Structure 1
């Protein structure tokens, strides 16, 4: 790889790490934000909801936008948006503004991650597989060290520091990207002649609005009922509006030519459906621990943010270590054994959470983290392989996009689950209840993996 290619890789890598870094750092900031703004746990959980909902929408949209406006332009614009949003978020006067800026930050970082891999594929022609694997390390590594970095920064300069840390990354990435990423080729005449209305139709803007409005309204309705502790007319109406919007979204996606989420693909290829459903459930389990355990350590065990981040590093490092081993295992034995092992590890970790007490030695917490970390590495590789097994070559791009959407939906479900279980404040009893729910869900995932394995054996005979 020549010097220019290496510079391009660093430029893109520094940009694509922003999204996973910012999605993971906040896991150790929830307790501090709750104290700083004097809000209940349900309200503070919107700092997580907002980021993942915006990412789930922005990433596929910005991927399509890059075809019209150019990948270099989208990448550079994303860095500018992320820079401004991060700077202003650190100065946010109230929690409402912080949520708005968190959404803008998610959109900016989604702009870089949605086109980063395409830029590398286009402009790094030698040892391309190695280049793409390096890019994956930037993303996985950022997600792995995010809680540790966030904990250290919060201990040092309180919660605004987790936003200010983006400034050097965005500046360095912008300077390198401006110099190293070749200018976009002139757009084809068909793209230049495309009107704004035609472009909105191509990204299914109406479907996106229905999806976002329905999801947000449903979350507001459910969480409002939980927070109030009783059923009242207002939250019920909001929840029903959300359900109606999601129903309209489903009808829209089945009828439109260019859907935001191609539901007909799910219906036509059952293997793709099962892979995405399992991935969504696995991520709901993973992120429930990812966001729940730091609050347990801080609110119940009274452990500081930096030490919490250090403990959470176990989760990320085990996931990183398991991924390459999972790749070899899946290549040799197929995805089913890895997926079943992952589900059993998640079951063990969930049961272990139920056994934790306010005085459990730290090694006990680390065991649950290690189990979930290893299972996450097995799941990411195993389910992606299962997805590719089930996907015809002509729709592999669509299948990959759906796979990323399933990850975001799993994170949203995890945040919703924690918000429902905890309500106004994080408690040890609520944490134990969360562990029981995760155990039941992990057992369902194990049964799904076992069914997949038996089905595969039957087909093989």
Structure 2
């Protein structure tokens, strides 16, 4: 009797790592660098904070809507065509932003950047999943570490670029990045990764989804009594979206899968809460450093450098560990500590205290996104990995929008110390809620283990 021969474990083509990482960081680099550019841009165009806020919100709106849509297209048509199209849009947006004659042209460039950067991350998750690699921890860590590195290094890099060449350099840098993505993607991304043909694309479902998110995020951008009509519109569009997806043969998002996958939904909720705190700190604390503490953009960026170093180190050291719950617990507690420390800041706070807050903030920056990203890899339907990964980014940017609304409300009269303290109280509540959600999710102990039953 001939013994059965075991198939060798599948491996991932490591030549793909560079283009996939490069594509994945296009979004966080454009999201984070702008944190130190809002004041210089406002001076250039004589704009008020309510107007420059659209530079942040425009990218968030485009990304939150576009990520799962592009992710679903990746699931259907493969990574290569969407990756290359996205890179081309990023290059065009970089050119428009570099030469923008007005604030609103600059906002349009940021919206284009949002749509263009939607393809990189879903394409990377899709290709890793389709490779069938048995132990994806190293690859997922590489994605998470690179994205987190860019998020936390972004303000420092942005400050240095502004100091050297002005704020337009933050847009110009997208041009060589896009060219590099196009070249590497054309050479290295596989042509044969297109899945089998499916039913007709769910255009109506995509439209209802985009309308739901747009209405919700427009309200979050400027919550007020005059905009309350956006909330019932959101509910109506969401109901229509659910009705459509339950009846379509090949829905854009299979809500039945999500309805029976409580751990995946919990991961999305954790992402929303964690990113609400992270982005509020990134933009709120940074604005206070400049307006409330009187630091320059370059110096504010340098204050955040310790956060960058801690986040990179923590992600690199813990990325291959299968532990999820412990990472998220440390991340939530660290965010509570950061918010508490922000309550004791004032206009003359010592630099060592600012650096300490930056150091502590590096822990959740390095742990939360890494753990939630890896959780989605194990929790999501393999056939919808692109859409599920894109939806993770959607919830991240919903958190960013909540943080933007909170920052706008608490800094209504400027980024002063009183507003920072109000923001800190809000972040204490959100971070505590995150801790409760982590403690309540017992499925975190089983993710990635042989007993874990994937949907």
TM-score under structure 1 length normalisation:
0.82
Deviations 1:84-119 (A, max 9, x none): 111111111111111111111111121233323434
Q: Residue in 2 aligned with 1:357?
A: 346
**Does the CA-based 8 Å contact 1:141-1:320 persist in structure 2?**
yes
Q: What is the aligned counterpart of 1:293 among 279, 285, 309? A: 285
2:296 match? 304
Selected match of 1:36 from 39, 44, 57: 44
Paired residue for 1:204? 205
Q: RMSD over aligned Cα, in angstroms?
A: 3.3
* Residue of 180, 184, 187 corresponding to 1:179: 187
Q: Which runs of 5+ in 1 are unaligned?
A: 226-230
Q: What is the aligned partner in structure 2 of residue 87 from structure 1?
A: 95
Provide the C-alpha distance between the structure 1 equivalents of 2:327 and 2:195, rounded to a whole number of angstroms.
44
Aligned partners of 2:288 and 2:420 also within 8 Å: yes
Q: 297, 312, 321: which is aligned to 2:313?
A: 321
Structure with the bigger percentage of helix? 1
Once residues 264 and 137 of structure 1 are traced to their aligned partners in structure 2, the CA distance between those partners, rounded to angstroms, is 32
Aligned residues: 431
| Bigger relative contact order (CA 8 A; separation at least 6) | 2
Classify 1:146/1:269 alpha carbon distance in 2 versus 1 (closer, same or farther; 3 Å): same
For the pair 1:22 / 2:48, whether they are aligned, the reply is: no
Kept in 1, the 8 Å contact 2:144–2:315? The answer is: no
Alignment of 1:23-422 (within 5 A): 23-119=31-127, 130-131=138-139, 133-184=141-192, 190=197, 198-201=200-203, 204-219=205-220, 221-222=222-223, 225=224, 236=226, 238-240=227-229, 242-255=230-243, 256=245, 257=248, 263-327=255-319, 331=322, 334-384=323-373, 399-422=388-411
Residues of 1 paired with 2:20 and 2:382: CA distance?
Answer: 27
Q: Is the 8 A contact 1:78 1:109 kept in 2?
A: yes
Find the aligned partners of 1:392 and 1:185 in 2 and give their Cα distance.
18
Q: Secondary structure at the match of 2:119?
A: helix
Instruction: Check conservation: 1:41, 1:426, Cα contact below 8 A.
Output: no
Q: Tell me the CA shift for residue 277 of structure 1.
A: 1.6
Alpha carbons of structure 1 residues 80 and 455: separation in structure 2 relative to 1, 3 Å:
closer
- Higher mean alpha-carbon deviation, 434-443 vs 9-18, is at 9-18
- SS state at 1:204 partner: helix
CA contact (8 A) 1:294 1:308 kept: yes
Query: Are 2:332 and 2:432, in contact at CA under 8 Å, matched by a contact in 1?
Result: yes
TM-score normalised by structure 2 residue count: 0.83
Aligned mates of 1:407, 1:152 — CA distance in 2? 27
User: What is the CA distance between 1:444 and its match in structure 2?
Assistant: 2.8
